[in-house]
Structure 1
Amino acid sequence: TVLWGLGVVIRYGFLLPLRLTLAITGVSLLVVFTTMIGFLPNGRVKNFLSEKVHLMCYRICVRALTAIITYHHSENKPKNGGICVANHTSPIDIIILASDGCYAMVGQIHGGLMGLIQKSMVKACPHIWFERSEVKDRVVNWLLIWYYVCFMCVSYNLSSGTCINNTSVMMFKKGSFEIGSTVYPVAIKYDPRFGDAFWNSSKFGMVNYLLRMMSSWAIVCSVWYLPPMSRQEGEDAVQFANRVKAAIARQGGLVDLLWDGGLKRGKVKDTFKEEQQKLYSKILVGTQEDRSRS
């Protein structure tokens, strides 16, 4: 009890105020500097300043979380013009990856504090924010990613689409795998003993979530840069996406699932239910056959 009370005093009385100061500093600098850089004409100077500002601010934010990160196989880090694909646990995945290299991001549009940060970031770098439910947005975003990757040599960072509790990897959308660019898989695994990084967006808002992160002891994680992968001859986008997903799950010690992460927000399709029923019926039939043989 004494140790627990001492831990509470240290985390909330000392670490939390210090981390809040660092977080406010990092976010404020990111918003101000990216907005200022947005007024510069497109060119090498703007790209150089944008990269340095993003790296500086992300590294400040990493320190605000007391993130202890171990990077493995850095020789496989994404190069210009490729697509980085990673499993997704929380928004801090971006901070962890971007503190080790500069990426353009692809992600869901948010409101509130997250939305403010997104609007400022896109002024300095060709990030792509979209509304997940809009089909028109997905088509436009596919064209934008294809253009920037193929002609502007921009490295994009993509994730599995929705936050998963770091025990499994769910369905990757096929759109980004249809471009034909080299894919750089990245596996991220958090150690929940010191702080749970999972963001349950239906239960906690962004500010509430960040306060929970900053009041934990630390965010400990390992990042593996896997060898780059390309689409094989005769392989469609879905098969390619599943192959990349399987490699990430295998390296991170995660369960490879075929489920769509969007199921936690929407109604389950009847076709998906029927597919699971067929699989379950096969298991039952197989069990009965084994019993009859014995």
Structure 2
Amino acid sequence: MIHLRLKFKQNSLCYLLLLGMSWKVPGKMLTLYLHGFCDCSGIIERAGGSMEEEIGELRNSFALSDAFYFYKKGLESIVDDQVTQRFSSEELASWNLLTRTNQNFRYISLRLTIIWVLGVFVRYCILFPLRITLAIIGLSWLVIGTTLVGFLPENSVKTWLSELVHLTCYRICARGLSATIRYYNKENKPQKGGICVANHTTPIDVVILANDGCYAMVGQIHGGLMGVIQRSMVRSCPHVWFERSEMKDRHAVTSRLRAHVAAKTKLPILIFPEGTCINNTSVMMFKKGSFEIGGTIYPVAIKYDPRFGDAFWNSGKYNMVSYLLRMMTSWAIVVNVWYLPPMTLQDGEDAAHFASRVKSAIAHQGGLLDLDWDGGLKRGKVKDSFKEEQQKMYSSIIVGQNGISSCSQSTKVE
């Protein structure tokens, strides 16, 4: 009988999953100790070792197959998945008086309830109308100002006026969110002819970065109000907008971006290589397309303070209107922005490794977890190529160990 001895919190998911599980092994009595699998709080505590190290430990301890390694990893994913939890709001250590929709809420005191009611009055009846007014003024100024500047001939005056209009608009919109922004290492700010890449938490990342400098935006052409704003912006500044059919053509996108970067007088391109919003705790895989363009990469790390408001946009749960409503009724948007030293492609380095190196630098500076998972898993399944990679890795371990054992046997014979 194989016994599983785990350290877990009573009534935790580990307990429910593993209670009563056993296997019969003829002629042997084996015990599997998964020390460190769960800590006393019921949260997964992973060892952090590689496949080679962990399978090597199993081989030294047991005469069983390596299925136990994959069994353990499977249970870890069931109890505490590293991917899906990045697409939900991060948990706070204490309540910030912003909501009472928590299922685990319990009445504490009359004084706390009164404070919460006063906070609701201040946020919805005082701050919210002022913020809506500022947002309308900022967007109106953007449309009107960029349209008027667009009629001027191409010269230095038009460039200066365009940057002035954009900066003014974004700063008014930031006031509409009560944004408090701290910029660090401004000597590393993105320069013209370069590419600015940053981790992505919310659509207002654009507003946060554009408060300290102008950027050329990259995106798909939309209709309605967003389309009006895009058409007015492109009249005064060389933003890069794509049709839906063009966005699917990787070569067309790359060629247009390369042409923009080649013109050293144009504004730096702002790109979010993750391709989706992550919940302010991690940085997920950077798409390599942004790093195949060439030119200098200017990494930027963005970290929001969740104590004053949740900036993460869960697009699967909230549409844009309801999300902006939540943002404008929060206490404030407090954020730190770090400009990292510029980085370039090294000799013998491909775009994928370059993207990973930039991602690691951003994660380290922002105090975020560095994950290799693709943010596309938010809406899709794991690619077969990733499964095949794990299979090849395991097969190489088996082949390598068999090769070592055969060599040792031949040595003994000699």
Change in Cα spacing, 1:91 to 1:282, as seen in structure 2 (3 Å) is: farther
The one of 288, 302, 311 equivalent to 1:188 is 302
Alignment of 1:93 onto 2:93: no
Alignment of 1:203 onto 2:317: yes
**Displacement of 1:118 after TM fit?**
2.5
Match of 1:81 in 2: 193
Query: What value does the CA root-mean-square deviation take over the aligned residues?
Result: 2.3
**Displacement of 1:279 after TM fit?**
7.2
**Displacement of 1:37 after TM fit?**
2.3
Change in Cα spacing, 1:10 to 1:231, as seen in structure 2 (3 Å) is: same
Larger RCO, structures 1/2 (Cα 8 Å, 6+ apart): 1
**Displacement of 1:281 after TM fit?**
9.9
Change in Cα spacing, 1:274 to 1:26, as seen in structure 2 (3 Å) is: same
The one of 270, 274, 288 equivalent to 1:174 is 288
**Displacement of 1:108 after TM fit?**
4.2
Alignment of 1:33 onto 2:119: no
CA separation in 1, counterparts of 2:232 and 2:131?
Answer: 22
Match of 1:146 in 2: 258
Change in Cα spacing, 1:279 to 1:203, as seen in structure 2 (3 Å) is: farther
1:131–1:137 CA contact under 8 A, matched in 2: no
**Displacement of 1:273 after TM fit?**
3.8
The TM-score normalised by the length of structure 1 is: 0.88
Deviates more, 1:4-13 or 1:23-32: 23-32
CA separation in 2, counterparts of 1:224 and 1:110?
Answer: 31
Change in Cα spacing, 1:153 to 1:249, as seen in structure 2 (3 Å) is: same
CA separation in 2, counterparts of 1:279 and 1:255?
Answer: 24
Match of 2:345 in 1: 231
Change in Cα spacing, 1:251 to 1:120, as seen in structure 2 (3 Å) is: same
Match of 1:14 in 2: 126
The one of 121, 134, 145 equivalent to 2:233 is 121
**Displacement of 1:133 after TM fit?**
7.9
CA separation in 2, counterparts of 1:94 and 1:133?
Answer: 24
The TM-score normalised by the length of structure 2 is: 0.64
Give a deviation string over 1:33-88, Cα, whole Å, max 9, x none: 22222233333222111111000000000000000111111111111111111001
Match of 1:157 in 2: 270
Match of 2:355 in 1: 241
CA separation in 2, counterparts of 1:34 and 1:141?
Answer: 25
What secondary structure does 2:197 align onto? strand
Match of 2:161 in 1: 49
What secondary structure does 2:118 align onto? helix
CA separation in 1, counterparts of 2:190 and 2:147?
Answer: 26
What secondary structure does 2:126 align onto? helix
CA separation in 2, counterparts of 1:242 and 1:182?
Answer: 15
**Displacement of 1:168 after TM fit?**
1.1
1:113–1:206 CA contact under 8 A, matched in 2: no
1:30–1:57 CA contact under 8 A, matched in 2: yes
Deviates more, 1:97-106 or 1:168-177: 168-177
CA separation in 2, counterparts of 1:199 and 1:280?
Answer: 38
1:166–1:198 CA contact under 8 A, matched in 2: yes
Alignment of 1:60 onto 2:172: yes
1:72–1:224 CA contact under 8 A, matched in 2: yes
Superposition map of 1:127-142 within 5 A: 127-130=239-242, 136-142=248-254
Change in Cα spacing, 1:203 to 1:124, as seen in structure 2 (3 Å) is: farther
CA separation in 1, counterparts of 2:384 and 2:292?
Answer: 27
What secondary structure does 2:303 align onto? strand
Match of 1:258 in 2: 372
Structure 2 counterpart of 1:173, which letter?
K
Identity %: 70
What secondary structure does 2:236 align onto? coil
1:169–1:256 CA contact under 8 A, matched in 2: yes
**Displacement of 1:132 after TM fit?**
7.5
Deviates more, 1:116-125 or 1:218-227: 116-125
CA separation in 1, counterparts of 2:158 and 2:358?
Answer: 33
Deviates more, 1:56-65 or 1:192-201: 192-201
Count residues with an aligned counterpart.
Answer: 283
Structure 2 counterpart of 1:50, which letter?
S
